[in-house]
């Protein structure tokens, strides 16, 4: 795989155009997790999704790595799927973390990837990595974008 500024721009455009598929997964995941933790979580709009992707790709060092993971997952297919299960999960979890940002958001996105992954199902015409890609985009963006009650207030652990 060759990554150039042009291929990074192509992957950026492709990810931006996934809003119709990814935003519903984000909102389903947020609703499910909100129920699990007994909190109300804001839903995301397509505009908030695309703004988050803009921010991710505005950092060139992050953008090239995100683009590489996106491209790998878009093309990843394994005969019978199961033998490739570990690699698509690994790549998806890493993509979610990379999109989310630094710790602790990075770790939260990795955990959330698995929740989103069980909510995405590719069809028989897609590659094995396709549903993991949508789950990773959903988990990373949903973690990155505020909307959780704990994100609304300053941490009680801040040392002054």
Residue-wise pLDDT tens digits, 22-77: 999 999 999 999 999 999 999 999 999 999 999 999 999 999 999 999 999 888 77
Residue-wise pLDDT tens digits, 12-24: 999 999 999 999 9
Give me the pLDDT at residue 78, please.
Answer: 73
- Rounded to two decimals, the pTM is 0.91
Closest CA to 128 of 75, 91, 90: 75
Q: Do 142 and 115 contact (CB within 8 A), yes or no?
A: no
* Average pLDDT over the chain, rounded to an integer: 90
Residue-wise pLDDT tens digits, 108-159: 999 999 999 887 776 655 666 778 899 999 999 999 998 888 787 888 888 9
Give me the pLDDT at residue 80, please.
Answer: 66
């Amino acid at each position: 795989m060759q990554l150039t500024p042009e291929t990074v721009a192509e992957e950026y455009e492709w990810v931006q155009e996934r809003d119709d598929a990814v935003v519903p997964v984000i909102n389903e995941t947020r609703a499910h997790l909100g129920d699990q933790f007994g909190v109300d979580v804001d839903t995301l709009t397509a505009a908030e999704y695309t703004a988050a992707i803009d921010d991710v790709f505005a950092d060139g060092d992050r953008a090239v790595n995100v683009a590489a993971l996106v491209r790998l997952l878009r093309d990843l297919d394994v005969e019978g799927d199961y033998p490739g299960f570990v690699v698509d999960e690994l790549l998806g979890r890493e993509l979610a973390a990379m999109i989310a940002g630094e710790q602790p958001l990075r770790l939260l996105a990795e955990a959330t990837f698995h929740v989103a992954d069980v909510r995405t199902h590719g069809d028989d015409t897609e590659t094995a990595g396709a549903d993991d890609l949508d789950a990773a985009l959903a988990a990373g963006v949903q973690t990155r974008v505020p909307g959780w009650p704990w994100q609304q207030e300053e941490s009680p652990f801040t040392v002054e």
